[in-house]
Amino acid sequence: MTEGDVNFWDSLETLGHELLNREREIVHKRLPSTKKDKSSASDDGENGSRGQVLRAIERLTETMIAALSKGQSPVLTYKDRQNSSNVSFDEDFGVVPSDNPVVKTVDFSAIKSTTRFARTLQVLAISYRLVQTNTYSTKRDVFYNNTKLFGSQRVLDTIVDDIACMLEVPRHSLHILATSKGCVAGDLTLVDSDGSFLDCSVASGGTMVPAHVQHITNLHSNAKFVLVVEKDATFQKLLDDGFCRKLAPCILVTGKGVPDLNTRMLVHKLWKAFHIPVFALVDADPHGMEIMCTYKYGSMALSHESHSLTVPTLKWLGVLPSDVRRLCIQEDVLLPMTDSDRAKARELLRRPYLSAEPLWRRELEEFMTRDRKAEIQSLISISPTFLTDVYIPNKIKFGGWI
């Protein structure tokens, strides 16, 4: 092992110790709620057990029957997941539900609400049957079993999320799963929910993230860090360049753009299981930054699941706007900011978690000052292997993350 190799791993080990201490603080702060929820722990040790979900659906059904027996119209009430006043920011947990939330109602007596009411009851009935028989279905299968009722996949997806929020259980506890789109590669083995053994170092293009992330077991890795990559094209480029071999042992993950629930859950699970640094590699633009914030802080729509989705200690490895300037990336490789980019940058500046990340805020302001953005691929203009052989190793070796 060369001196450079020693320095490389020493810097990671130092960061690992710092982040582990930070993680212990976060876990300690979570202990009161963990103790409170112990009585309702699931069969696999987490909140949202089969019994809890069944009872929640039964109570909701009883409430509707009671209203009908009194000649009243049944009403469904749930938190408005798109209302920013319904969430708050906690530095240790990310975006979390706030107290006294603004709610939405679906009243069966209102003509405009009858279709949504029927769709919700249908999904509740399907979920109840799946949980009761301990079987699973994908959202796509549920949709295609009654396309006329749901109209579009997006409508069904929203209803499933609203029901999970209404019952105050994780979405996967409804036994209606989303198809995973993310990939993982590198030094990681695990046992999937069906008992199959997965070695993520074997497949040349990466291994698909399992659909039942909450039920995977026997995770094993000697990885020193996890690198979350925004785009699948960059993920594949790194694999083609031998990234996992050159920087071994490590784990590489991509959500292929905006990450799905399973990919976010896997990154959280890796962070929690191995206590190693998690870095993000995203485009140097406001939308890339938002994707990174989703991994670190969560999202408004799924704030009720932040405890199992966020990685509060995630670090921004690149591509930083200041890196673009420092590396003198040619202007013809950069892209002009669009109106959508500018609007997203202004929105991000208003988000409360940017106040906890002054260095991130400074980089975001550089976007707006220069009015230019850069994709990860812009680094290839320096050298075809610059990203793998120089940029990422040096950023890790010399602590070039924020």
The catalytic residues are 144
CB 232 within 8 A of CB 256: yes
DSSP string, 270-298: HHHHH---EEEE--BSHHHHHHHHHHHH-
DSSP 306: G
Q: Tokens in use for 69?
A: 């027996």
CA-to-CA separations, 82 to 79, 85, 160, 165, 235, in angstroms, rounded:
9, 9, 15, 12, 31
396 CB-near residues (< 8 Å, 6+ apart): 8, 11, 12, 225, 247, 279, 317
DSSP 62: H
Nearest to 392 by CA among 332, 315, 285, 296: 315
Question: 85-115: string of b/e by CB count within 10 Å (b at 16+)?
Answer: ebbebbebbbbbbbeebeebebbbeeeebee
Beta strands 75-79 and 103-107, pairing class: antiparallel
